Structure 1
Amino acid sequence: MPSSTDNTQAQLPTAVIGYPSKLLGRADVAKGTMAFQLEEPPNFAFRAGQSIDLSLVGLAQDSPHRLTHTFSIASDPSDEEIMIATRMRDTTFKRRLSQLPIGTEVRIDGPMGSFTLHNNTARPAVLLAGGVGIAPFLSIVSHALKKGLHYHIILFYANRQLEDAAFIDALWNLERTNARFSFAPTLTRVNGNNGEWNGETGHISPEMLRRRVGKLQGPIFYIAGPPAMVAATRRMLVEAAVDEDDIRTEEFAGY
Structure 2
Amino acid sequence: MAHQKVDIELRVLHVRAETPQHLSVVFERPRGFDYEAGDWIDLAFADELRGGRTYSLSSSPTEPDLMITFKEGQSEVKRALAGAAPGDRMRITAYGNDYEFQLAEHRDSVLIAGGVGVAPFRSMMKEMVDARRSGSLELVYLNGTDDFLFKDELDAWQAELPDARIDYIVTKGLKRKDRERMLREVISVTAHLYYVAGSEGMIESTEALLDTMGVDHDDIRIDSFGGY
Same fold flag (TM > 0.5): yes
Which residue of 100, 114, 134 corresponds with 1:150?
A: 134
Give the 5 Å matches for 1:220-231. Answer: 220-231=193-204
Separation in structure 2 between the aligned mates of residue 207 and residue 94 of structure 1, nearest angstrom: 33
Within-5 A mapping of 1:195-214:
203=179, 205=180, 208-211=183-186, 213=188
The equivalent residue for 1:199 is none
Gaps of 5+ in 2: none
Amino-acid identity (%)? 26
Contact 2:15 / 2:85 at 8 angstroms: preserved in 1? Answer: no
RMSD value over aligned CA atoms?
2.0
Q: 2:119 aligns with which of 107, 123, 135?
A: 135
Deviation (angstroms), 1:190: 6.8
CA contact (8 A) 2:62 2:130 kept: no
Aligned partner of 1:170 among 153, 157, 181:
153
Q: CA 1:174–1:245 in 2, change beyond 3 Å: closer, same or farther?
A: same
* 2-structure distance, mates of 1:162, 1:102: 30
Deviation of the 1:14 alpha carbon: 4.2
Q: Does 2:3 correspond to 1:19?
A: no
After TM superposition, list the pairs within 5 Å mapping 1:1-255 onto structure 2: 12=1, 14-15=3-4, 17-57=6-46, 59-60=47-48, 65-66=49-50, 69-114=53-98, 115-119=101-105, 121=106, 123-163=107-147, 165-189=148-172, 203=179, 205=180, 208-211=183-186, 213=188, 216-255=189-228
CA displacement, residues 233-255 of structure 1 (integer Å, 9 cap, x when unaligned)? 00000011111111111100103
Structure 1 segments, 4+ long, off by >2 Å, are: 12-17, 65-68, 205-213
SS in 1 for 2:92: strand
For 2:65 and 2:71, the matched residues in 1 are separated by 20
- The code of the aligned residue for 1:117 comes to L
CA distance in 2, matches of 1:13, 1:233: 25
The answer as to whether partners of 2:52 and 2:227 remain within 8 angstroms in 1 is no
Q: CA deviation at 1:18?
A: 1.8
Question: For 1:62-107, what per-residue CA distance to the aligned partner results, in whole angstroms no more than 9, with x for missing partners?
Answer: xxx4377010000110211101000111111111221222111111
Change (3 A) 1:87 1:177: same
Q: Structure 1 residues 36, 232: closer, same or farther in 2, change over 3 A? A: same
**Cα deviation per residue 1:140-170 (whole Å; 9 max; x = unaligned)?**
111012111111111010001112x211111
Cα separation, 2, equivalents of 1:86 and 1:30 = 10
* Change in CA separation of 1:218 and 1:177 when aligned onto 2, cut-off 3 Å: closer
Distance 1:241 1:212, change over 3 A: closer
1:31 and 1:236 map into 2 onto residues whose CA distance is 31
TM-score (norm 2): 0.90
1:246–1:217 CA distance, 2 compared to 1 (3 A): same
In 1: Cα distance, 2:127 partner to 2:5 partner? 22
Query: How far, CA to CA, are the matches of 2:182 and 2:81 in structure 1?
Result: 41
When residues 174 and 209 of structure 1 are mapped into structure 2, their CA distance, relative to the original with a 3 A threshold, is farther
Highest CA radius of gyration, 1 or 2? 1
SS in 1 for 2:153: helix
